[in-house]
Structure 1
Amino acid sequence: MGLKIDTLKELRELNLFDIVKDVFDKALKNGDLIYDENIEFERVTDPESEIENEIKIVSGLSKRPNNRASEPGNKDEEINEDKLNEVIEKNPFLKPEIELTVIDSLLGNYRLILNKFPNTKYHFLLVTKEFEKQDTLLKPIELQLMHTILDNLKKVSNKEYFSFFNSGSESGYSQFHKHIQFMMLPDGFCTYQSNVVRGVNYFIPKEIIENRRPIVYEKASYKHYILKLKEYDMYENEEQEEDERDSLAILYMYLIKRIMNIFKEFDMEDKKLSYNLLMMSNWMMIIPRRSAKFEDIWQNSLGFMGLFCVKNKELRDKVMNIGISKILQECGFPMEEGERDIVYNEYGY
């Protein structure tokens, strides 16, 4: 589209949902993306965690290319330079298709583009213009873009969006170019994360203070940490914009420190950090990852959101037979009794 957005103020005032919708509908009509509107799905409540899940068959997953610098479970995590060059050469995000581009220039360094193999309608990505590795930390401005986009979508549409970032070789990403994804929640779908933060006020976490440790849902089978976010109706001045960016960065780095301690606890300090970061307009959550898949069931952030996307009926049946809690526990780290009371070292790892 050639759309250029230079400031967060411009982004906040944009009717982003309508722009995404128009580009998506046109691309779908012209065959520029792979999406089946007649997706089979079912809602199930996991008996162990009491979490509502949606399982659906997304045929496009079998066509989605895998462009990684290293494979999950690879003991040698050093990235070969030739392999990295090959990944960059095949990178679909450096020169995205015009037909899939929503915003060609966002704050100078980013783009918004459609996912060519979407899990849902109006599934799009925030990507860096220049190549950056997917396992680099999120920058404060990237966290703020996530939050600003979510706020915008919530205000201009009647749809609930969430955002996620898969980082590290065991996080379940398929593209090594840095990208953050945005998807709609299914209609009528309620996340457990939104339930557990209801009534909680924003706070800066502190390990030694009981009511300032991150929130956890202890019926879940896997370690995870949730923090409430500040919400802004609008920026009244530059100080508020800066305050939001600082707040998001502080919360994110606190969560990164938490998972560094988890890797230490499990004697995995020699491994690169793998994690999933999930965000809605009023909360942020991190899940440390030890495996990208259980058997042949691949998981990125979506499974921890209660959204299971599989390639075919055989995999769907396998998920149901094994059990959702078991799969997520094996891909993450097992929940411990009294998880919220565990105190980790904030400064030494």
Structure 2
Amino acid sequence: MDESLILSKFDYLVESGHVLYDNNQQIIEHIDGDLKFQFVLTSALAKKPTLTTTQPSTNTQEPPKREGSDISTTGFEIGTLDTHIVIANKFCFGRPHLLLLAADGYRRQYEALDEADLASAWRILNASVETDYVAFYNCGRDGGCSRLHKHMQVMPLPGNSFAAFLDSGSEETTVPFHWFYRRFGGGVLTPAELLGVYRDLLRKATEVGGGRGEHAASAPVGAVCPHNMILTKTWMIVLPRRKGAINKEAGVNSLGMLGVIAVVTTKEIDNWVRLGLTESLAELGVPKVV
């Protein structure tokens, strides 16, 4: 899938009002101990719903959804892959910010990724030779997901996240939670090889995370350990999660666990600082025992 086509369609959807993207969003940095956090202050997320909240619709008729799905793709389509649909995220803080949905609307966000999922993500990541993209998966309610239809997200890779050392060769960032990562060697990885890396990292995450998520008791059949998976062309991270949020104003997805937190107001930033940034991420993940 061609990057120029993706950007052209994404920009059109923003200009037409279908997609909410704040061209004037700000990056506000905050140092907590040895960690540098980046808050993305954006108005685009003001009306974003979650699994536990709904937003009133201004439409008298909801757009149709794929059978089994809780995500409408109508009006947001970018393209299709063999087993996935590429759409623009309605509430985005990247240009572009994409959703990569399983074509089967009955696939669920609490399942492990499979070879087809990773193959589709790999195709999008390699659509550009100039821009570094990141794909991420918020697995389960405790992993920070906001919709049940199985999907990944793709956007330009933020700079200076906790994972930046994986590209720079600098010393590993000391995070307060367990994470497991793999740098890729040279050459082109196959989807099967990506799946092997993912399963190995997920196994390690499950060993420390187990079923200790906040909603473990009500987890559906087939649910795996709540986790985040973050993938670029040069590395993969899998980290176990225990909670999706500290409170309704302090929740994070995969990128948030890497120190890149999208917020709507400065009040949310103040809330995070008051709670303690490093301590909060430890609580949301599986804390390391010192």
Q: CA shift at 1:246, angstroms? A: 2.1
Q: CA shift at 1:281, angstroms? A: 0.8
Q: CA shift at 1:191, angstroms? A: 3.2
Q: Which has the larger radius of gyration?
A: 1
Residue type matched to 1:97 in 2?
T
Map of 1:171 onto structure 2: 143
- Paired with 2:186 and 2:283, the residues of 1 have a C-alpha distance of 34
* TM-score when normalising by structure 2: 0.83
SS at match of 2:146: coil
Tell me, yes or no, if structure 1 residue 124 matches structure 2 residue 98.
yes
The percent of aligned pairs where both chains have the same amino acid is: 22
Instruction: Report the number of matched residues.
Output: 271
Q: CA shift at 1:40, angstroms? A: 2.8
Structure 2: which 5+ residue stretches go unaligned?
A: 54-64
- Give CA-to-partner distance per residue, 1:144-198, whole Å, 9 cap, x none: 2222321222x1x3x3211100011201111110111011134xx2334241465
Question: Do the aligned partners of residues 304 and 231 (structure 1) sit closer, same or farther apart at CA in structure 2, a change above 3 Å counting?
Answer: farther
- Paired with 1:274 and 1:255, the residues of 2 have a C-alpha distance of 13
- Paired with 2:32 and 2:114, the residues of 1 have a C-alpha distance of 35
Q: CA shift at 1:329, angstroms? A: 0.6
**Candidates 185, 190, 202, aligned match of 2:160:** 190
Runs of 4+ off more than 3 Å? 86-90, 196-200, 230-233, 263-272
Map of 2:258 onto structure 1: 305
- Paired with 1:38 and 1:102, the residues of 2 have a C-alpha distance of 24
CA contact (8 A) 2:97 2:155 kept: yes
Alignment RMSD, CA only? 2.8
Tell me, yes or no, if structure 1 residue 61 matches structure 2 residue 45.
yes
Task: Spell out the pairing of 1:193-232 with structure 2 (5 A cutoff).
Answer: 193-196=163-166, 217=172, 219-232=174-187
Map of 1:77 onto structure 2: none
Map of 1:91 onto structure 2: 70
- Paired with 1:61 and 1:267, the residues of 2 have a C-alpha distance of 26
Task: Spell out the pairing of 1:105-116 with structure 2 (5 A cutoff).
Answer: 105-107=80-82, 109-116=83-90
The worse-fitting range, judged by mean Cα deviation, of 26-35 and 258-267 is 258-267
- Give CA-to-partner distance per residue, 1:260-296, whole Å, 9 cap, x none: 2113496998665211111111111011011111133
Task: Spell out the pairing of 1:133-144 with structure 2 (5 A cutoff).
Answer: 133-144=108-119
CA contact (8 A) 2:180 2:205 kept: no
SS at match of 1:281: coil
Map of 2:193 onto structure 1: 247
SS at match of 2:126: helix
Tell me, yes or no, if structure 1 residue 326 matches structure 2 residue 282.
no
Map of 2:17 onto structure 1: 31
Q: Which has the higher helix share?
A: 1
Residue type matched to 2:118 in 1?
L
* TM-score when normalising by structure 1: 0.70
Question: Do the aligned partners of residues 331 and 88 (structure 1) sit closer, same or farther apart at CA in structure 2, a change above 3 Å counting?
Answer: farther
Residue type matched to 1:177 in 2?
H
Structure 1: which 5+ residue stretches go unaligned?
A: 1-13, 73-85, 201-215, 234-242, 338-349
- Give CA-to-partner distance per residue, 1:304-324, whole Å, 9 cap, x none: 222111122211111123332
SS at match of 1:301: coil
Q: CA shift at 1:65, angstroms? A: 2.5
Residue type matched to 1:139 in 2?
D
- Paired with 1:53 and 1:277, the residues of 2 have a C-alpha distance of 19
- Paired with 1:145 and 1:175, the residues of 2 have a C-alpha distance of 19
SS at match of 1:183: strand
Tell me, yes or no, if structure 1 residue 17 matches structure 2 residue 3.
yes
Residue type matched to 1:284 in 2?
M
